[in-house]
Chain A
Amino acid sequence: MFAPDDTIVAVATPPGRGGLGVVRLSGPEAQTLATRLLDHREPLRARHATVSRIVDASTPAGNAIDQVVATSFPGPGSYTGDDVVEISAHGSPVLLERIVALACAGGARLAEPGEFTFRAYLNGRLDLVQAEAVADLVDAVTPLQARVAFDQLEGTVTQAIGAIDTDLFDLIARLEASLDFPNEGYHFVEPGTVAQGIGLLRDRVIGLLAGSTRGRLIREGCHVVILGKPNVGKSSVFNALIGSSRAIVTAVAGTTRDLVSDVIDLDGVAVTLVDSAGIRVTNDAVEAEGVARARQALAVASSVVVVLDRSAGLEEEDRSVLEATAGTSRVVALNKIDVASPSAWPREALDLPPETSVVEVSARTGQGLDMLRSAVRAGLVGEEVYRDTPTVGNQRHIGLLERASGALADAQRVTQDGATEEFVLADLQRARTAFEELTGARTPDDVVNHIFERFCIGK
Chain B
Amino acid sequence: MSRRYDVIVVGAGHAGVEAAHAAARVGCTVGLCTLSRETVAHMPCNPAIGGTAKGHLVREIDALGGLMGEAIDATAMQFKLLNRSRGPAVWSPRAQADKRQYGRWMRARLEAEEHIGWIIGRVGAVRLEGGRVVGVELEDGRRYGCGAVVVTTGTFLNGVIHVGDEQRSAGRVGEPASKMLGESLKELGLVWGRLKTGTPPRLDRGSIDFSQFEEEPGDVPPVPFSFLTGLVDREQTPCHIVHTNDRVHELVRENKDRSPLYNGQISGIGPRYCPSLEDKVMRFPERDRHLVFLEPEGVDVPEIYVSGCSMCLPREVQEAVIHAMPGLGDARVLRPGYAVEYDFIQPTELRPTLETRKVAGLFLAGQINGTSGYEEAGGQGLVAGVNAARRVRGDGEWVLGRDEAYLGVMVDDLTARGCLEPYRMFTSRAEHRLLLRIDNADLRLTARGREIGLIGDGRWSEFLARRERFERNVAAVRAARAPGRGGSVELAQVLRRPGVTLAGLAAEGAVEVEAGRDGRAYELSSVETVVKYEGYLRRQTATVARGERDERRRIPQGFPYGKVPGLSREVVERLSGVGPATLGQAGRVPGVTPAAVAVLGSYVRRWGGRGMPAARD
**A and B: interacting chains:** yes
Q: Which residues of A contact B (CB under 8 A)?
A: 1, 3-6, 119, 121-124, 176, 179-185, 417-423, 426, 429-430, 440-445, 448-449
Tell me if B85 and A445 are in contact (CB < 8 A).
Answer: no
Within 8 A of A (CB), among B77-116: 82-83, 85-87, 89-90
Q: How far is the CB of B558 from chain A (nearest CB, A)?
A: 20
Supply 9 A–B pairs (Cβ within 8 Å), ascending by A: A3-B565, A4-B566, A121-B595, A179-B428, A182-B52, A418-B499, A421-B90, A422-B86, A426-B536
Q: How far is the CB of A218 from chain B (nearest CB, A)?
A: 29
Q: Which 3 A-B pairs have the closest CB atoms?
A: A5-B565, A4-B566, A445-B598
Tell me if A442 and B594 are in contact (CB < 8 A).
Answer: yes
Count the A-B residue pairs with Cβ separation under 8 angstroms: how many? 90
Q: In the complex the two chains form, what is the Cα distance from A422 to B273 in whole Å?
A: 20
Q: Which of A124, A422, A445 contacts B597 (CB 8 A)?
A: A445
Q: In the complex the two chains form, what is the Cα distance from A124 to B596 in whole Å?
A: 10
Tell me if A419 and B498 are in contact (CB < 8 A).
Answer: yes
Q: Which of A426, A442, A444 contacts B539 (CB 8 A)?
A: A426
Q: How far is the CB of B572 from chain A (nearest CB, A)?
A: 12
Chain B residue with Cβ nearest A180: B426
Tell me if A3 and B434 are in contact (CB < 8 A).
Answer: no
Tell me if B86 and A6 are in contact (CB < 8 A).
Answer: no
Tell me if B499 and A3 are in contact (CB < 8 A).
Answer: no
Q: Which of A122, A176, A423 contacts B428 (CB 8 A)?
A: A176
Tell me if B595 and A6 are in contact (CB < 8 A).
Answer: no
Within 8 A of A (CB), among B557-571: 565-566, 568
Q: Which residues of B contact A124 (CB under 8 A)?
A: 568, 593
Q: In the complex the two chains form, what is the Cα distance from A180 to B426 in whole Å?
A: 6
Q: Which residues of B contact A180 (CB under 8 A)?
A: 52-53, 426-428
Q: Which residues of A contact B536 (CB under 8 A)?
A: 423, 426
Q: Which of B89, B291, B568, B596 contacts A422 (CB 8 A)?
A: B89
Task: Please indicate which of the listed interface residues B82, B433, B594 has the most CB atoms of chain A within 10 Å of its own CB.
Answer: B594
Tell me if B595 and A440 are in contact (CB < 8 A).
Answer: yes
The answer to the question of B601 belonging to the interface, with a C-beta cut-off of 8 Å to chain A, is: yes
Interface size on B, residues (CB 8 A): 37
Interface SS of A by simple majority: loop
Q: In the complex the two chains form, what is the Cα distance from A445 to B89 in whole Å?
A: 31
Tell me if A418 and B434 are in contact (CB < 8 A).
Answer: no
Chain A residue with Cβ nearest B499: A418
Q: How far is the CB of B401 from chain A (nearest CB, A)?
A: 18
Q: Which residues of A contact B52 (CB under 8 A)?
A: 179-182
Contact with A along B185-227 (1 / 0, CB 8 A): 0000000000000000000000000000000000000000000
Q: In the complex the two chains form, what is the Cα distance from A442 to B587 in whole Å?
A: 9
Q: How far is the CB of B466 from chain A (nearest CB, A)?
A: 25
Known: A6-B565, A417-B498. A426 touches B85 (CB 8 A): no
Q: In the complex the two chains form, what is the Cα distance from A24 to B273 in whole Å?
A: 53
Q: In the complex the two chains form, what is the Cα distance from A32 to B183 in whole Å?
A: 49
Q: In the complex the two chains form, what is the Cα distance from A429 to B598 in whole Å?
A: 23
Tell me if B595 and A122 are in contact (CB < 8 A).
Answer: yes
Known: A5-B616, A426-B540. A440 touches B594 (CB 8 A): yes
Known: A123-B568, A422-B86, A426-B540. A445 touches B291 (CB 8 A): no
The answer to the question of B602 belonging to the interface, with a C-beta cut-off of 8 Å to chain A, is: yes
Q: In the complex the two chains form, what is the Cα distance from A426 to B430 in whole Å?
A: 11
Within 8 A of A (CB), among B532-566: 533, 536, 539-540, 546, 565-566
Contact with A along B493-526 (1 / 0, CB 8 A): 0000011000000000000000000000000000
The answer to the question of B599 belonging to the interface, with a C-beta cut-off of 8 Å to chain A, is: yes
Chain B residue with Cβ nearest A449: B598
The answer to the question of B431 belonging to the interface, with a C-beta cut-off of 8 Å to chain A, is: yes
Q: How far is the CB of B376 from chain A (nearest CB, A)?
A: 14
Known: A5-B565, A123-B568, A422-B433. A448 touches B498 (CB 8 A): no
Tell me if A445 and B594 are in contact (CB < 8 A).
Answer: yes
Q: In the complex the two chains form, what is the Cα distance from A301 to B605 in whole Å?
A: 46
Q: In the complex the two chains form, what is the Cα distance from A100 to B420 in whole Å?
A: 50
Tell me if A445 and B428 are in contact (CB < 8 A).
Answer: no
Q: Which residues of B contact A429 (CB under 8 A)?
A: 431
Q: Which of A6, A122, A420, A449 contacts B596 (CB 8 A)?
A: A122
Chain A residue with Cβ nearest B293: A183
Q: In the complex the two chains form, what is the Cα distance from A183 to B593 in whole Å?
A: 37
Q: How far is the CB of B128 from chain A (nearest CB, A)?
A: 38
Q: Which residues of B contact A121 (CB under 8 A)?
A: 595
Q: How far is the CB of B15 from chain A (nearest CB, A)?
A: 23
Known: A180-B427, A183-B291, A426-B540. A443 touches B594 (CB 8 A): yes
Chain A residue with Cβ nearest B616: A5
Chain A residue with Cβ nearest B426: A180
Q: Which residues of B contact A440 (CB under 8 A)?
A: 594-595
Task: Please indicate which of the listed interface residues A4, A119, A421 has the most CB atoms of chain B within 10 Å of its own CB.
Answer: A4
Q: Which residues of A contact B433 (CB under 8 A)?
A: 422, 426
Q: Which residues of A contact B599 (CB under 8 A)?
A: 1, 4, 122
Q: How far is the CB of B434 from chain A (nearest CB, A)?
A: 6
Q: Which residues of B contact A444 (CB under 8 A)?
A: 546, 594
Task: Please indicate which of the listed interface residues A121, A182, A448 has the most CB atoms of chain B within 10 Å of its own CB.
Answer: A182
Known: A5-B566, A122-B596, A179-B86. A185 touches B291 (CB 8 A): yes
Q: In the complex the two chains form, what is the Cα distance from A172 to B545 in whole Å?
A: 24
Chain A residue with Cβ nearest B83: A182
Tell me if B87 and A448 are in contact (CB < 8 A).
Answer: no
Q: How far is the CB of A435 from chain B (nearest CB, A)?
A: 14
Tell me if B427 and A179 are in contact (CB < 8 A).
Answer: yes
Q: In the complex the two chains form, what is the Cα distance from A229 to B125 in whole Å?
A: 98
Q: Which residues of B contact A420 (CB under 8 A)?
A: 85-87, 90
Q: In the complex the two chains form, what is the Cα distance from A227 to B602 in whole Å?
A: 53
Q: Assuming A422-B427, A426-B434, what are 10 further A-B pairs, CB within 8 angstroms?
A: A4-B566, A121-B595, A123-B568, A182-B52, A184-B291, A426-B536, A441-B594, A442-B594, A444-B546, A445-B598
Q: Which residues of B contact A418 (CB under 8 A)?
A: 498-499
Q: Which residues of A contact B568 (CB under 8 A)?
A: 123-124
Q: Which residues of B contact A449 (CB under 8 A)?
A: 598
Q: In the complex the two chains form, what is the Cα distance from A6 to B616 in whole Å?
A: 11
Q: How far is the CB of B587 from chain A (nearest CB, A)?
A: 8
Q: In the complex the two chains form, what is the Cα distance from A1 to B434 in whole Å?
A: 36
Q: Which residues of A contact B90 (CB under 8 A)?
A: 179, 420-422
Q: Which residues of B contact A183 (CB under 8 A)?
A: 82, 291
Q: How far is the CB of B560 from chain A (nearest CB, A)?
A: 13
Chain B residue with Cβ nearest A430: B539
Tell me if A421 and B86 are in contact (CB < 8 A).
Answer: yes
Chain A residue with Cβ nearest B241: A185
Tell me if A4 and B565 are in contact (CB < 8 A).
Answer: yes
Q: In the complex the two chains form, what is the Cα distance from A255 to B596 in whole Å?
A: 60
Q: In the complex the two chains form, what is the Cα distance from A123 to B593 in whole Å?
A: 10
Q: How far is the CB of B294 from chain A (nearest CB, A)?
A: 14
Chain B residue with Cβ nearest A1: B602
Q: In the complex the two chains form, what is the Cα distance from A444 to B297 in whole Å?
A: 51
Q: Which residues of B contact A5 (CB under 8 A)?
A: 565-566, 616
Q: Which residues of B contact A3 (CB under 8 A)?
A: 565-566
Chain B residue with Cβ nearest A6: B565
Q: Which residues of A contact B597 (CB under 8 A)?
A: 445
Tell me if B566 and A448 are in contact (CB < 8 A).
Answer: no
Chain A residue with Cβ nearest B86: A420
Q: Which residues of A contact B426 (CB under 8 A)?
A: 176, 180
Q: How far is the CB of A280 from chain B (nearest CB, A)?
A: 51
Q: In the complex the two chains form, what is the Cα distance from A4 to B568 in whole Å?
A: 11
Q: How far is the CB of B320 from chain A (nearest CB, A)?
A: 24
Q: Which residues of B contact A421 (CB under 8 A)?
A: 86, 90
Q: How far is the CB of B355 from chain A (nearest CB, A)?
A: 30
Chain B residue with Cβ nearest A427: B536
Q: In the complex the two chains form, what is the Cα distance from A184 to B568 in whole Å?
A: 43
Tell me if A423 and B53 are in contact (CB < 8 A).
Answer: no
Q: Which residues of B contact A441 (CB under 8 A)?
A: 594
Q: In the complex the two chains form, what is the Cα distance from A372 to B559 in whole Å?
A: 66
Tell me if A448 and B598 are in contact (CB < 8 A).
Answer: yes
Chain B residue with Cβ nearest A433: B543
Contact with A along B399-441 (1 / 0, CB 8 A): 0000000000000000000000000001110010110000000
Q: In the complex the two chains form, what is the Cα distance from A241 to B233 in whole Å?
A: 90
